[in-house]
Amino acid sequence: MSDALSVKIREKTGKSAARELRRNDEIPAVLYGLKDNLSLSVSSKEFTKVLDDKGRSALIDLKVEGGKQHKVILKETQTHPLKELCVHVDFLEVALDKAVKVSVPVNLVGQSPGEKLGGIVNHILKTLEVECLPTNIPQVFDVDMSGVELDQVVHVSDMQLPEGVKVLQRPAEAIVSVHLAKVEEEKPAEGEEEAVEGEEKGEDAAAEEATPKKEESAQKEG
């Protein structure tokens, strides 16, 4: 199932035109089509709604004002460095009968029994790279943490994949693990270490001095 998103042809391009669009709550966009590329603008509100409803990997039905519809996926988004605002969008037109490569987010669901025992959850892979037909793109991969024990690792090979979806990462690659935090032995400070070494050398020297004296005393007694 696809999501309809209305866009407009962008007549003006350049930085000043892009800033004007953003002031009007529009996002500059580019459609990389199967035949031609188009400069577009999309409502910030409508674009955010599509992302919230279907995720970043969704197949989108892009409706160009005064033109035809395109089946697209998100190619790239650019975000403001200081504000959590999307400032540019690239759409990629796809053919429904040809496989595409996309990134699908990995979501951890529930709490691990190992975490309850003091383990720390390390979420290693935040996304999985998959290859499939556009109509088979998963919205998200959920990992059920309720079955992940202490010192257990969930690998790519442990994931249940929908039919027709191929993960491109290695099967042995770790997605999430639960382990106790490593406790490092405390090392003495540099000054303390030198003081300890000095004491040991002093003790060794004193022992060496004491030994000849005992031998000398024994000779005198003899």
Give 2-32 pLDDT, tens digit per residue: 458 999 999 888 889 988 999 999 999 999 9
- If one counts the domains in the chain, the total is 3
Domain membership of residue 17 (yes or no) is yes
CATH number for position 106: 2.170.120.20
Q: For 80-189, where are the alpha helices, taking DSSP H only?
A: 113-116
Helix, strand, coil percentages for the chain (3-state, nearest 5): 30, 35, 35
pLDDT tens digit sequence for 159-213: 999 999 999 999 999 999 999 987 666 666 665 555 555 555 555 554 555 555 4
Check pLDDT > 90 for residue 42: yes
Domain membership of residue 222 (yes or no) is no
Token code pair at residue 196 = 């300890």
- Indicate whether this model's pTM tops 0.85: no
Token code pair at residue 11 = 């007549």
Q: Are residues 145 and 165 in the same domain?
A: yes
Token code pair at residue 216 = 């000398």
Cα–Cα distance for residue pair 89/5, rounded to 1 Å: 13
pLDDT at 218: 46
Identify the domain containing residue 111 by its residue range.
Answer: 101-179
Q: Are residues 17 and 65 in the same domain?
A: yes
Q: Are residues 112 and 145 in the same domain?
A: yes
3-state secondary structure (DSSP) of residue 26:
strand
Final residue of a structural domain among 72, 94, 116: 94
pLDDT at 181: 85
Token code pair at residue 54 = 């279907």
Q: Are residues 83 and 106 in the same domain?
A: no
Contact 26, 87 (CB under 8 A): no
